[in-house]
Amino acid sequence: MMSVGELLSQFGDKYLQALWTTYGLTVLCFAGALVLGIAITVMRICPIKPLQWFGDFYVQIFRNIPGAALLIVLVYALPYLRVMLSYYMCVLVAVTLIPSSFCSEYLMAGMNTIGAGQIEAARSLGMTFFQIVKNVVLPQALRSTVLQMTNLLVATMLTTALASQVPLNPADLTGIVTYINTHAVGGITAFMISAFFYAVTAVVIGQIGNRIDKKVRILR
Amino acid sequence: MSNGKIISQEPIIELKHIDKHFGSLHVLKDINLTVHKGEVVVIIGPSGSGKSTLCRTINRLETIDSGEIVIDGSVMPKEGKKLAELRSQIGMVFQSFNLFAHKTILDNVTIAPRDVLKKSKREAEEEAMQLLKRVGVDSQAGKVPAQLSGGQQQRVAIARSLAMHPKAILFDEPTSALDPEMIGEVLDVMTELARDGMTMVIVTHEMNFARRVADRVIFMDGGSILEEAAPEEFFAAPKTQRARDFLNSLGDRESRS
Ligand SMILES: Nc1ncnc2c1ncn2[C@@H]1O[C@H](COP(=O)(O)OP(=O)(O)O)[C@@H](O)[C@H]1O
Ligand SMILES: [Mg+2]
């Protein structure tokens, strides 16, 4: 089996590319999950019943199916519907949809910290539903869920490992392990290097999240 | 009128045959009430008599079963843009202040003028600072609500209402959540507003304040308006037994203060 040094000198650039693939997927998926999660949450609290039902249904679906199953559906089933997505896009979509449902759940919980009185005050000032969402509900829900969103970002990064299940070039941090082990004898060490990158990134994200939380936390 | 004030005959708030139930509880029974421009109407009555519900019905924070609400000649619709617009013309001050917890005091006052009235940031902030000064909390403009005392928060809430240039302001027990030593500072601001001619509907248990500031006192019990009179008339000689009982129940506390 190869040592860490041998692995890095032979596959260092591959690891770097893999790291970028993972980071790129993580950033895109998390941003997408935030936007989608916010949109779904607005549907769930809006006065229009069918939109509420749709939002609740959406969350139940994507919160409760395995990511791998969703990816399989996207890769194998979509072509039957004449929708052709690249492998990369399939991973992107799967790893956006699942975290978006969790994002919405966190926001719904975060909203419970906002007193009904503040909403009534906003209504009495003449604000419309969207103005209340924009001025009162979302800012407070987001600011009170920074730690949950931080965890979600880490979870999203770990979920991008689904990319290893489809042929990607360059591969992601998990996929690269398979690549190395088919081209050399990296064994468990090849995986440990990837794990190290995941872990370090997660710790850094956690630290940044803690700082942001301290800064934006709402005094009550 | 009690303080020699001349009240116009121009109606700002008209409630016509309002009925409302909470489930099987008939909480408002055929309420008819007109508040004229510049008038200060104080609503009193035992706890649970429907005072808050009536107050919240005026800007339709509560739904109603039947009846009509007219604000300065416009019928208040059930929902939609027009409702929001009419609401913006009626201020509301709550027992629990309800300031926006994530915004500074200044932003609390400017947010609605900017977003609802589309005023520029500069104009809204200039006016907000004047209003904060008027209620005596301008030195707190950069803080957030949780850093202020209850009395200060309630005065900010009044400034936030005033910033919309409302045609009337509704107060639902504005001093009931305050420590005793802070009640005076809020009542002083309200007294001043009344003197400046603001149209006000006030639910309160502060009887001396009611005596001093009200043009008209309304006594509610069991979801109905039982009496409606000038304060000196009402407090000296309440007509109904229930009003007499209510005033007696307030007892010594009021005769002392
Ligand atoms: N949201 C509500 N749901 C059900 N009952 C309510 C609600 N709000 C108030 N009530 C009931 O309606 C009655 C009148 O309440 P309220 O208007 O708050 O009285 P007041 O302000 O005079 O004390 C009370 O019996 C109260 O319990
Ligand atoms: Mg009440």
Residue A115 exposed, middle or buried by CB count within 10 Å (0-12, 13-18, 19+): middle
What was the pLDDT predicted at B257? Answer: 45
The answer to whether the CB of B31 is under 6 A from ligand 1 is no
- Closest residue in B to A126 (Cα) is B88
Q: Which long-range contacts (CB under 8 A, 24 or more apart) does B26-35 make?
A: B26/B223, B27/B53, B27/B223, B28/B53, B28/B54, B28/B57, B28/B64, B28/B223, B29/B222, B29/B223, B29/B224, B30/B67, B30/B224, B31/B57, B31/B67, B31/B224, B31/B225, B32/B225, B33/B218, B33/B225, B35/B11, B35/B168, B35/B199, B35/B201
**Residue B216, ligand 1, Cβ within 6 A:** no
Helix, strand, or coil (residue A128): coil
Distance of residue A131 Cα from the nearest chain B Cα, in angstroms: 8
The amino acid present at B6, given as its one-letter code, is: I
Give, as one character, the DSSP assignment of residue A169: S
Q: Is B22 in the pocket of ligand 1 (CB under 6 A)?
A: yes
Q: Which residues lie below 8 Å from residue B193, measured CB to CB, with a gap of 6+?
A: B158, B162, B169, B200
pLDDT at B6: 73
Whether residue B140 is predicted with pLDDT greater than 90 in this model: the reply is yes
Length of chain B counted residue by residue = 257
Q: What is the pLDDT of residues B8-40, one digit of tens each?
A: 889 999 999 999 999 999 999 999 999 999 999
State what percent of residues in chain A have pLDDT above 70: 100
Of chain A, the end-to-end C-alpha distance in Å amounts to 57
Please state, in angstroms and rounded to a whole number, the distance separating the CA atoms of residues B186 and A37: 42
Homologous superfamily, domain A4-216: MetI-like (1.10.3720.10)
Q: Is the pLDDT of residue A2 over 70?
A: yes
Note the pLDDT of residue B133: 98
pLDDT tens digits, one per residue of B178-191? 999 999 999 999 99
> Across chain B, what does the average pLDDT equal?
95
Give the pLDDT confidence of B108-137 residue by residue, as tens digits.
Answer: 999 999 999 999 999 999 999 999 999 999
Crossing angle of helices A4-45/A187-216, nearest 10°? 40
pLDDT at A1 over 80: no
Ligand nearest to the CA of B94: 2
Nearest to A218 by CA among A116, A149, A115: A115
Cβ–Cβ < 8 Å for A58, A101: yes
SS3 of chain B: the string is CCCCCCCCCCEEEEEEEEEEEECCEEEEEEEEEEEECCCEEEEECCCCCCHHHHHHHHCCCCCCCEEEEEECCEECCCCCHHHHHHHCCEEEECCCCCCCCCCCHHHHHHHHHHHCCCCCHHHHHHHHHHHHHHCCCHHHCCCCHHHCCHHHHHHHHHHHHHCCCCCEEEEECCCCCCCHHHHHHHHHHHHHHHHCCCCEEEECCCHHHHHHHCCEEEEEECCEEEEEECHHHHHHCCCCHHHHHHHHHHHHHHHHC
- B34 Cα–ligand 1 center, Å: 22
What angle do helix axes A87-111 and A4-45 make, rounded to 10 degrees? 50
Q: Would you place residue B7 in the very low, low, confident or very high pLDDT band (cuts 50, 70, 90)?
A: confident
Compute and round to an integer the Cα radius of gyration of chain B. Answer: 18
Q: What's the mean pLDDT when you consider all of chain A?
A: 95
Average pLDDT estimate for B59-78: 96
Half-sphere exposure of B2 (CA within 13 A, CB side): 23
Q: Give CA separation, A1 vs A6, A184, A190, B205, in Å.
A: 10, 9, 10, 84
- Checking if the pLDDT of A24 tops 70, the result is yes
Find the distance separating the first CA and the last CA of chain B, reported in whole Å.
24
- The kind and range of the H/E element at A16 are helix A4-45
Residue A125 — left, alpha, or beta (φ > 0 → left; ψ -120 to 50 → alpha)? alpha
A215 — contact with chain B (CB < 8 Å)? no
Distance from the B53 Cα atom to the nearest Cα atom in chain A, whole angstroms: 13
Ligand 1 center from residue B18 Cα (angstroms):
16
Query: With an 8 Å Cβ cutoff, are A126 and B112 in contact?
Result: yes
Q: What would the mean pLDDT of A160-170 be, rounded to a whole number? A: 94
> CA angle, corner B200, sides to B194 and B206, nearest 5?
75
Rounded distance between C-alpha atoms, residue B188 and residue B72, angstroms = 27
- pLDDT at res. B224: 97
| Interface contact B94-A120, CB threshold 8 A | yes
B5 or A107, which is more confident: A107
User: What is the rounded distance in angstroms from the CA atom of residue B116 to the CA atom of residue B101?
Assistant: 19
The Cα of B99 is separated from the nearest Cα of chain A by a number of Å equal to 6
Q: What pLDDT is attached to residue B256? A: 44
Distance of CA B208 to the CA centre of its chain: 17
- pLDDT tens readout for residues A111-164: 999 999 999 999 999 999 999 999 999 999 999 999 999 999 999 999 999 999
Q: Where are the domains of chain A?
A: 4-216
Model confidence at B3, pLDDT cuts 50, 70, 90, reads low
pLDDT of residue B253: 53
Mean pLDDT of A10-39: 96
pLDDT in the model for residue B252 = 45
Question: Are A178 and A161 contacting, i.e. CB atoms less than 8 angstroms apart?
Answer: no
* Distance from the alpha carbon of residue B148 to the mean position of ligand 2, in angstroms: 24
- Test B92 with A117 for CB contact under 8 angstroms: no
Q: How confident is the model at residue A11, as a pLDDT?
A: 87
- The tokens describing A211, both together, are 């700082």
